[in-house]
Structures are given as C-alpha cells and as structure tokens.
C-alpha cells in the first residue's frame, strides 16, 4: 500500500517504545498490512523496522507459523493454545 496521509498518520515520526513493543509482539500474528494500519505507517516503513529489530536480535528471525492470525472468540467456547 502506498503512502496515504489519512492512513499513515505516523509516517516519518520517531518510533515510540509502545509502538516497538506492539510491533515485536503482534507482527507475526496480524501480518504486515494490518500492522501498517494499526501503527499508521507504510508497509515499507514497518518492514524496515522489522528488519532492523531482527538484525539487533530483538525479534525472532523465523516466522512463528503456528500462531493464529486472527483471534476471535466471540461465539466460540474453544480454548486456544500455542
């Protein structure tokens, strides 16, 4: 997705500690597009930050494919395990 000022309201701003924590905890679960919209940054910006964090050893280099992408428990009594 290309830059859109209405969607990417944080583009160019410094990354806060809360944003970095959110990125590290949820990136493998919600994916690039949703992460981009949640943080108000372009996908390219998010991908660059992920690459930087992986190089520093702050994020797993392997994808955690066993994690559930969408966590919806609305009408379900299923217990989710990881």
Q: Does residue 65 fall inside a structural domain?
A: no
The length of the chain is: 82
Q: Does residue 35 fall inside a structural domain?
A: yes
* Structural domain range at position 31: 17-55
Q: Does residue 38 fall inside a structural domain?
A: yes
Mean pLDDT on 8-16: 92
Q: Give the pLDDT of residue 19.
A: 94
Is pLDDT above 80 for 69? no
Q: Does residue 71 fall inside a structural domain?
A: no
Is pLDDT above 70 for 9? yes
Q: Does residue 62 fall inside a structural domain?
A: no
Region of 2 on the Ramachandran plot (φ > 0 left; ψ -120 to 50 alpha; else beta): beta
Q: Does residue 69 fall inside a structural domain?
A: no
Q: Does residue 78 fall inside a structural domain?
A: no
Q: Give the pLDDT of residue 62.
A: 60
**Structural domains of the chain, count:** 1
Q: Does residue 26 fall inside a structural domain?
A: yes
């Amino acid at each position: 997705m290309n830059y859109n000022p209405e969607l990417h309201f944080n583009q160019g701003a410094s990354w806060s500690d809360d944003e970095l924590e959110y990125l590290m905890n949820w990136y493998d679960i919600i994916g690039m597009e949703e992460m981009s919209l949640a943080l108000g940054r372009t996908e390219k910006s998010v991908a660059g930050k992920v690459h930087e964090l992986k190089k520093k050893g702050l994020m797993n280099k392997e994808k955690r494919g066993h994690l559930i992408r969408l966590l919806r428990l609305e009408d379900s009594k299923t217990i989710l395990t990881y």
